[in-house]
Chains A and B, each alone.
Chain A
């Protein structure tokens, strides 16, 4: 389904702010699998999602999706295959457009947009039905601007929009990190439900060890632009929050060792 081959990306190359975000990432994802990505800050997990989504051109490597090499496709072209939910709940919806108009936009994700009415009657019917299932009382507020809703409501709608047309791949980029705990639970529950119902192939980046341990059928851990652990199947199922925290501790200690070693060498030779 998805193949990420030796992908590299460096931002601000040759300046003081140079960031080697991805340093040769390889990843293969089978159809219908739900991958959770964790990692330290700046490990490149969000960059990996953005690379797949096509937000920036790659320095090296290739990305194949659904049998096609999409490495050179622009972001908007890949949207035909990919549904996305962002970390910022305000990023996924157009605030001044109504709920109905936002959904109508999502109902044509990656399809040509011509001069047909955006809010045709048959689209509206499906909207009410689908939104009613959120149990947020939004089905009677379809004409309200989406900017008047809370972050949690907007994120739930973004999720609906990303999956309105079944995507080949769903990308969730820490999509509950900016929400209050209750809304985060709701949105996570909804994500789980939709992914299971539509048998979606999905990648979710998260900071929550709880989510990482409980969701998905595969987990990778990233550090400094590389995949350092990859747990699948039974191994993933057995993973507990404590073990994940231990792994982070390992990484931290290894990093410290690097730094103290460098310091020692520096003292001795410089």
Chain B
């Protein structure tokens, strides 16, 4: 049960990563690799501030803001200096590696003894429940695990709902249209470059927020923790799209969050069955590859079969 609750919590924390990847890859069709760096950036900024004794809420918000700056930088490299989008992301991601080391002063900052959002949630949970565990269908769930789950759920809900509401405003609608048809939105008076800057800022802000929460959950920030996270987020988004099966913005956002949880559960089960964790990134990448290729392949295969049947 602890494994299940842990997977749920981790999946929800990483769902903000999925939302960020959704904004860059799906709304803008922009392959933004910056996210790998901004996840660690969010974690680094939050961790260092926590160690300095800054309040956990503020430290997490600072992580979010740092991510926004990173995203805006990548977008500016692309729009102002005409650097290829993929390369712009790679440049900022690479630079962030040094920035993150500089911020942390070393490659790893432990948070075991700091006051974090997680310890705050735990304390609140214990005050509320006044016992250390309760039972769900016969399984023991500690209040500690449960509080973390509630915290992650709240964070995801707030981020998801705010993102959804934003996409229903004039500004947010113009942003979605920019990714859909830039020529059209320019003809309607929108500076599509500025839209991309704002969009990638939001995207990387969400990714960094995910990193800040992840650092507090696992009890340390590490300069390596962002590696491969873009692909992880993409896998969640793809699963989410398969789950909801529509293009409407509300269900798609909810789907991305659900996809993140589901993907984390699948990974937890695979690890439990004895999958070597070293192969995790390979399998994630292979999964995304198959998910991207399979629909097209199935369609062609189906068409050919139909053709043969008709002949």
Contacts and interface: CB of A to CB of B under 8 A. Distances in A.
Interface of A: 53, 74-77, 79-80, 82, 84, 86, 90-97, 101-102, 104-106, 108-111, 113-119, 145, 161-162
Contact of A97 (B180, B183, B189): B180
Contacts of B171: 113-115
Contacts of B186: 75-76, 79
Contacts, number: 91
Contacts of B169: 113-118
Given A117-B168, A119-B168, A95 B190 contact: no
A74 B189 CA distance: 9
27 contacts: A75-B186, A75-B187, A76-B186, A76-B189, A76-B190, A76-B191, A86-B183, A91-B184, A92-B184, A94-B184, A96-B176, A96-B180, A97-B173, A101-B173, A105-B174, A108-B170, A108-B174, A109-B188, A113-B170, A113-B171, A113-B174, A114-B169, A114-B170, A115-B169, A117-B169, A118-B168, A118-B172
A50 to B, nearest CB: 11
A122 to B, nearest CB: 14
B177 A94 contact: yes
A229 B180 CA distance: 40
A106 B173 contact: no
A53 B189 CA distance: 11
A97 B188 contact: no
A91 B181 CA distance: 7
Contacts of A96: 176, 180, 247
B192 interface: yes
Interface residues of B, number: 23
Nearest to B190: A76
A110 B173 contact: no
B249 to A, nearest CB: 9
B183 A74 contact: no
Interface of B: 166, 168-174, 176-177, 180-181, 183-192, 247
Given A75-B187, A95-B181, 12 more contacts: A76-B186, A76-B189, A79-B186, A84-B187, A90-B181, A96-B180, A96-B247, A101-B173, A105-B173, A105-B185, A110-B188, A113-B171
Contacts of A75: 186-187
Contacts of A118: 168-170, 172-173
Q: Tell me whether chain A's interface is mostly helix, strand or loop, or mixed.
A: loop
Nearest to A162: B187
A164 to B, nearest CB: 10
Nearest to B246: A145
A86 B185 CA distance: 13
A82 B188 CA distance: 9
Contacts of A93: 181, 184
Q: Which of A80, A90, A102 counts the most B-chain CB atoms under 10 A from its CB?
A: A102
A76 B170 contact: no
Contacts of B172: 118
Contacts of B189: 76-77, 79-80, 108-111
Q: Which of B180, B181, B186, B189 counts the most A-chain CB atoms under 10 A from its CB?
A: B189
A145 B181 CA distance: 13
Q: Which of B170, B172, B176 counts the most A-chain CB atoms under 10 A from its CB?
A: B170
B167 to A, nearest CB: 9
Contacts of B187: 53, 75, 79, 82, 84, 86, 92, 162
A106 B188 contact: yes
Contacts of B173: 97, 101, 104-105, 113, 118
